Chain A
Amino acid sequence: MRKLLSLLALGAVLWPGSLPLQAADRDEPVEVSLRIRDHRFEPEVVEVPAGRRVKLVIHNEDSTVEEFESYSLGREKLVAGGSSITVFVGPLKAGEYDFFGEYHQETANGRLVAR
């Protein structure tokens, strides 16, 4: 019986368009650009639509390494000096999500606002 259920689950997942999961995948993330300059995020407050996945593209224009970190978003990612990273988050409920640069926490702070 368990094998039968497993096979049914496999079929359901692989059947084209049969699950909301696959429909959601076709929902391209909203792309938002951020830059780090002089150890600060620009802009510091970013608005994104609630309920959508978000692709943050973070350009570090400083020559030093930084780490994008957000507990509320559950993300932590290193960005070398003079390079870029992408961070995928969401879909987010409406609300505010703080983030910061782990190497320069006194200046590199920002907030994602989902509306």
Chain B
Amino acid sequence: MAASSRVEAVLAAALFLGLGMGAPWAVAGPSDYVYPAVVEEGERELDFKAGSASVRGGGHEEQQSLGIGVGVNSRWFTEVYAKWHREPGDARSFDAIEWENRLQLTETGRHAVDAGLLVEVERPQDRSEGYEVRWGLLLQKDLSPAWRANLNLLLEHHLAADEGSKGEFGYQWQMMRRWRPQLEFGLQGFGSTTESSNRLGPVLAGSLRLNGRQKLKYNAGWLWGTTTWSSPQNFRMQVEYEF
């Protein structure tokens, strides 16, 4: 088998295994989004994300983040976020600073599957939580010019926290139909091992071209929990201003 075929076979195997394991995963917040495996060099963006999830027992949990990101080169995208959070019955408060890094491992379209690596570090405002590190494999495939699939396999753990915690596995997946730039539609899902949560539902996405290279991109999804421990309903959205 040629070297490139071997790389693709291993990536495809990871994809098969990820689907086959059916683990009750997740690493998930109400405003989570599906990380793309592909990086765009020169991209600069302001990024707003928000999510609201109903909580069993009543009320809603909310999360918002505001970030600024840049595609440093054709392999590396980096973004810094400020995050806010509100538990049911509490006031909204500043929650954490987060540093997201996505590394594109393969050239887009060159292999059977495009692969990337996520390395994300979060410093919660509650210092007793230490540092939250999330990392994992990002996989993306154009099934045709119209259909795109993503599967992300993630691991999250805390470092330097007052209380020890086990690592947490998570997944994200998405299947999108590219219809026109302003409107694409599909399905997406998020899951986590900690509370055997699993959420899935429809998503809309698109981009509006403004002046010159400026674009407004959006995606929003309505997710339903499929397990006892999942949030019954979760609305999540993201708006990016590219300049």
The majority secondary structure among interface residues of chain B is loop
Query: Which residues of chain B are near A10, meaning CB under 8 Å?
Result: 13, 16-17
Q: B5 at the A/B interface (Cβ < 8 Å)?
A: yes
**Given A6-B16, A72-B145, A86-B107, CB of A103 within 8 Å of CB of B213:** yes
Among B77-85, B108-116, B190-198, the stretch in contact with A: B108-116
**Does A71 lie within 8 Å of B108, measured CB to CB?**
no
**Does B108 lie within 8 Å of A93, measured CB to CB?**
no
**Does B20 lie within 8 Å of A2, measured CB to CB?**
yes
B151 CB, nearest partner CB in chain A, Å: 14
A102 to B111, CA, bound (A): 26
Q: A108 at the A/B interface (Cβ < 8 Å)?
A: no
A68 to B32, CA, bound (A): 30
**Does A26 lie within 8 Å of B20, measured CB to CB?**
no
Number of interface residues of A (CB under 8 A): 36
Q: B8 at the A/B interface (Cβ < 8 Å)?
A: yes
Interface size class of B (residues with CB under 8 A): 20 to 34
A92 to B143, CA, bound (A): 11
**Does A9 lie within 8 Å of B112, measured CB to CB?**
no
Q: A57 at the A/B interface (Cβ < 8 Å)?
A: no
Query: Which residues of chain B are near A97, meaning CB under 8 Å?
Result: 145
Find A21's partner among B8, B10, B22, B74 (CB 8 Å cutoff): B8
The majority secondary structure among interface residues of chain A is mixed
Chain B positions 1-56 with a Cβ under 8 Å from a chain A Cβ:
1-2, 4-5, 8-10, 12-13, 16-17, 20-22, 40-42
**Does B17 lie within 8 Å of A92, measured CB to CB?**
no
A87 to B145, CA, bound (A): 14
Query: Which residues of chain A are near B13, meaning CB under 8 Å?
Result: 9-10, 13-14
Q: Which chain B residue shows the least CB distance to A6? A: B20
Q: B148 at the A/B interface (Cβ < 8 Å)?
A: yes
Q: B95 at the A/B interface (Cβ < 8 Å)?
A: no
Q: Which chain A residue shows the least CB distance to B71? A: A78
Q: Which chain B residue shows the least CB distance to A4? A: B20
Find B145's partner among A2, A77, A93 (CB 8 Å cutoff): A93
Query: Which residues of chain B are near A72, meaning CB under 8 Å?
Result: 145
Query: Which residues of chain A are near B112, meaning CB under 8 Å?
Result: 21, 24-25
Query: Which residues of chain B are near A3, meaning CB under 8 Å?
Result: 20-21
**Does A2 lie within 8 Å of B22, measured CB to CB?**
yes
**Given A25-B5, A73-B145, A102-B213, CB of A78 within 8 Å of CB of B41:** yes
B residues in contact (CB < 8 Å) with A: 1-2, 4-5, 8-10, 12-13, 16-17, 20-22, 40-42, 74, 107-112, 142, 144-145, 148, 178, 180-181, 212-213
Q: List 12 A-B contacts (CB under 8 A).
A: A2-B21, A10-B13, A13-B12, A13-B13, A22-B5, A22-B9, A73-B145, A74-B145, A74-B148, A76-B40, A78-B74, A97-B145
User: Besides A2-B22, A22-B1, A75-B108, 8 other CB < 8 A contacts?
Assistant: A10-B13, A10-B16, A13-B9, A16-B1, A21-B12, A22-B8, A74-B178, A89-B109
A residues in contact (CB < 8 Å) with B: 2-3, 5-6, 9-10, 13-14, 16-17, 21-22, 24-26, 53, 65, 67, 71-78, 86-90, 92-93, 97, 102-103
What 3 A-B pairs are tightest by C-beta distance, nearest first?
Answer: A88-B109, A6-B20, A9-B16
